[in-house]
Structure 1
Amino acid sequence: MKTRSALELVDIKAIAAAAEAEATANKWAVTIAIADDGGHLLWLQRLDGAPPISAKIAPAKAQTAALGRRESRVYEEIINGGRTSFLSAPAEGLLEGGVPIMKDGVCIGAVGVSGVKSTEDAQIARAGIAALGL
């Protein structure tokens, strides 16, 4: 039997605070979503001025990163590379901005961010994850 790590509320709050700080420091209005390893939403935070649709896109990016165990940008690159049939995959957040939370080579959750350029979304997600010191 294996023992595995799991996100706790204190971890989620630390990720959210660090992600919010990164977004605020850059004056980026975004939505931040944090999911567990099964892609289930644990946290959703829409900063002032974030587009309403970002509240749908951020959780989808987090879910895609958690279930795929890789950054959601990988799927965007596959599609942009010409494999358009991948659009029929059973996932919605196939855009950059979803980043898995990895501990000891195992995915324990993911952060999805939406509201600014996709590279900036990913920057915010990574800043949040960095707060865990993994």
Structure 2
Amino acid sequence: MVQSITLDTAKVLIDAAEQKAEEIDNPMVITVTNSEGNLIAQHRMDDAWLASVSISRNKAYTSAALDMPTHELAEPSEPGNSLYGLQTTDEGRIVIFGGGYPLADEEGDIVGALGVSGGAVEQDMEVAQVGVSRWEEIRGE
């Protein structure tokens, strides 16, 4: 059982995600947090948007805090639904669009999270999913 993501592991996940961002020619900010949403590592590629620094961190924080990918919060937080207004809570740190994913250990416990920002939501999700896939490879070793 993994207790928490280490800095070395965070660097591996960031590297995998960065390679995908380079492949699609879109500079990104990639963040890895522990299970409580506290920063382990963050990487801002050259020319990535400054706003993406806090957005990627908040995506990772949201995934860690709520144990779910951020894109799964979009529909429940629409007007009239049960989580309407969620993004205005927790000092504005909750993100309700894609690019944040929790990282679970082999028993399903959340041990960290990954957040990516810098492109269209679909691009953020694509890049983040590469980091998540790399985590799953490492976890399975």
Q: Report the counterpart of residue 47 of structure 2 in structure 1.
A: 49
Structure 2: segments with no counterpart, 5+ residues: none
TM-superposed deviation, 1:93: 2.1
Query: Residues 88 and 56 of structure 1: is their aligned pair in 2 closer, same or farther, counting only changes over 3 Å?
Result: closer
- Corresponding pairs, count: 132
Query: Residues 85 and 93 of structure 1: is their aligned pair in 2 closer, same or farther, counting only changes over 3 Å?
Result: closer
TM-score, structure 2 as length reference = 0.85
TM-score, structure 1 as length reference = 0.89
> 99, 102, 106: which is aligned to 2:101?
99
Deviation track 1:94-120 (CA, whole Å, cap 9, x = no partner) reads 221101111121111010001111121
Higher deviation after alignment, 19-28 or 121-130: 121-130
- Report the Cα distance in structure 2 between the residues aligned to 1:35 and 1:41, rounded to whole angstroms: 4
The percent of aligned pairs where both chains have the same amino acid is 25
Structure 1: segments with no counterpart, 5+ residues: none
Match of 1:51, SS? coil
> 32, 35, 38: which is aligned to 1:37?
35
Is 1:126 aligned with 2:126?
A: no
Match of 2:74, SS? helix
Query: Residues 67 and 28 of structure 1: is their aligned pair in 2 closer, same or farther, counting only changes over 3 Å?
Result: same
- Report the Cα distance in structure 2 between the residues aligned to 1:87 and 1:111, rounded to whole angstroms: 18
Is 1:10 aligned with 2:27?
A: no
Letter aligned with residue 130 of structure 2: A
TM-superposed deviation, 1:86: 2.7
TM-superposed deviation, 1:88: 3.7
TM-superposed deviation, 1:4: 4.8
When the two chains are superposed, the root-mean-square deviation of aligned CA atoms in Å is 1.7
Q: Report the counterpart of residue 89 of structure 1 in structure 2.
A: 89
Query: Residues 4 and 127 of structure 1: is their aligned pair in 2 closer, same or farther, counting only changes over 3 Å?
Result: closer
Letter aligned with residue 71 of structure 2: R
> 112, 116, 133: which is aligned to 1:113?
116
TM-superposed deviation, 1:80: 3.2
